[in-house]
Amino acid sequence: MKKHTSTLIRKAVIPAAGFGTRFLPWTKASPKEMLPIVDKPVIQYVVEELVESGITDIIIVTGWHKRSIEDHFDYPNELIQTLREQGKEHLIEEVKKTAELANFIYIRQKGPYGNGTPVLCAKPVIGNEPFVVAWGDEFIWSKKPRAAQCIEVFEKYRDPVISAIRVPRDDISRYGIVETVTVEKNIGQISRLIEKPTLDETKSNLAAHGCYVLTPDIFSYLENLKPGKSGEIWLTDAIREMLKVRPVYACEIVDGKYFDTGNKLEYLKTVVEFALQHKDLNGVFRQYLKDLKI
């Protein structure tokens, strides 16, 4: 795939400081972002998407229990030496490639809980540049990376952009839903952003989440934001304030499939689906599933 290049956006923030309580006891000592999808952790799929979208600097906002994320993207000289002694050159290339994906910067989260806080923590590194935010426990698999699609919209309109997907109407209460005014195919200007609405609250089924292209003025909204639900700082609340003074666009992702790996059932579905596509496993794994005769 040809890598997208942008002269405007080089930095991305991945918030990864949450406790992942839905995956306890696994997440007592291991980050949910490090849950394996066959042979790569979830967060690596997110990083690879960002790199394919032209991002060179990735800021991962972590907590005290997330050290293994830093270790995963480190350059492990001892492991490489061991693999070389064992003649496993193909694995050396995989290990080196992971460490060389991007320039990784790590920040420890400070401040109240909520997904707006880690974005604000990245302010000193982002400075006065537009940037991408992507969650570390979910991703969209698409021919053209989701982030690249959103960046292209930003390059055209120069206003914030949120990725969006269509969801079944019965599921809208699980997502942040946007109502939009169509600007062009797959692109709409957001008129209303509703967090987990009931069926009576909106006719829209366009869920906006997962990837955000933001301008640096988002930091002032986050800094002045009063804590919302459960005393937490939420990025969507800051974006609602931003909507009052400037356009924000929704980019409906083309040819993409959403994988919510922060949910137990959806995580298991994701592992099965990727195992069925894996070049070394697809045949024998497919036969194993058939033999179960469920």
Q: Residue 24 and residue 16: Cα distance in Å, rounded?
A: 16
Instruction: Report, as ranges of residue numbers, the positions in the chain whose pLDDT lies below 50.
Output: 1
Q: What is the CATH number of domain 11-262?
A: 3.90.550.10
Across the chain, which distance is largest between two alpha carbons, in Å?
64
Q: Residue 63 and residue 7: Cα distance in Å, rounded?
A: 31
Q: Residue 128 and residue 175: Cα distance in Å, rounded?
A: 30
Burial track 187-214 (b if 16+ CB lie within 10 A, e otherwise): bbbbeebbeebeeeebebbbbbbbbbbb
Domain boundaries, the chain: 11-262
- Under 8 Å between Cβ of 237 and 160: no
Distances in whole angstroms, Cα of residue 287 to Cα of each of 67, 270, 280, 293: 38, 18, 13, 10
Q: Residue 116 and residue 4: Cα distance in Å, rounded?
A: 27
pLDDT in tens, 173-211: 888 899 999 999 999 999 999 888 899 999 999 998 889
Q: Residue 200 and residue 211: Cα distance in Å, rounded?
A: 27
Dihedral angle of Cα 135, 161, 224, 262, to the nearest 10 degrees: -20
* Whole-number pLDDT of residue 1: 46
